Structure 1
Amino acid sequence: MSWQAYVDTSLVGTGQLDKAAIISVAGDSTWATSAGFTLSASEMKAIADVVTDSPGAKDKAFADGLYISGERYVIARAEEGSIYARKGREGVAVAKTNQAILIGHHNEEGVAGNATQAVEKLAEYLVGLKY
């Protein structure tokens, strides 16, 4: 399956997310994304730094927020390899695999727990495939 198919089918296709992206674990390239869900180089690097526990990255993100597709999100939870952040009733769930970072966005009607579960389920599957 292509990376774009994972975004379209396994993330957005769940109905729990309205936009999603898959980036490299280094935060230096986009592998697949939904239309209109573009992350800048600095946004990808900041996300990668937090999920890979780069020194000081998590504290900075908690203090300054996390920017995704030009929007500022407040981090609600950042654990080893995952992030959940909100902007009002919208939210983003992020999960790291061995080689990739999955980012899923839910709109105001979305349920945070369901969105997080969709992202984490695909992450677990990819880890099982050694990705």
Structure 2
Amino acid sequence: MSWQAYVDTSLVGSGQVHKACIASLAGDSVWATSPEFAVTPDELKTIANIFKEGKEGETAMKVYAGGLNVAGERYVVPRIEDASAYARQGRTGVCISTTKQAIIITWHNDTGVAGNATQTTQKLADYLIGQGY
């Protein structure tokens, strides 16, 4: 399956997330994305640094204090774990999961359920990890 098919079918096609992006864990390239979900190179690098440095690293502390920008929008970050993070803006939110080689970023709208979006994102991450990615 192509990276774009994972975005379109496994993530957005689930109905639990409304936009998604899959990028390299290094934060240097986007592999597939939904239309109108343009995660910038600087935003991607910040996200990659969160997981490179760890949940108590300098970048994590900065986003806890000042928020995280994703696709041009600023989100409050209530939770960062070893391989995942969640950010919200009102009733919308961003779920991030990492694998050995990839970062999966999903967005749900204000009618979405954060827990369902997080579960969908993590399910794909777990599958990709099982496939060696």
TM range (shorter): over 0.9
The Cα shift of 1:19 comes to 0.2
| Matched residues, number | 131
1:128 to 116, 127, 130: 130
Deviation per CA, 1:54-111: give whole Å up to 9, x if none: 5311101101100000000000110001000000100010000000000010000000
1:59 to 58, 61, 70: 61
**Matching residue's letter, 1:27:** G
**One-letter amino acid of the counterpart of residue 31, structure 2:** W
Tell me the equivalent position of 1:72. Answer: 74
Q: Distance in 2 between matches of 1:53 and 1:117?
A: 24
Identity rate, percent? 56
Q: How is 1:7-86 mapped onto 2 (pairs within 5 angstroms)?
A: 7-53=7-53, 55-86=57-88
In 2, the alpha carbon distance for the partners of 1:127 and 1:90 equals 27
Q: Distance in 2 between matches of 1:61 and 1:52?
A: 14
For the residue of structure 1 that corresponds to 2:111, the secondary structure is coil
Q: Secondary structure at the match of 1:52?
A: helix
Matched with 1:95 is 97
Corresponding position of 1:115: 117
How far apart are the structure 1 equivalents of 2:79 and 2:42?
Answer: 21
Q: Flag structure 2 segments of 5+ consecutive residues without an equivalent.
A: none
TM (norm. structure 1) is 0.98
SS at match of 2:117: helix
Which 4+ residue blocks in structure 1 deviate beyond 3 angstroms? none
TM-score (normalizing by structure 2): 0.96
Separation in 2, partners of 1:104, 1:70: 14
Distance in 1 of aligned mates of 2:19 and 2:2: 17
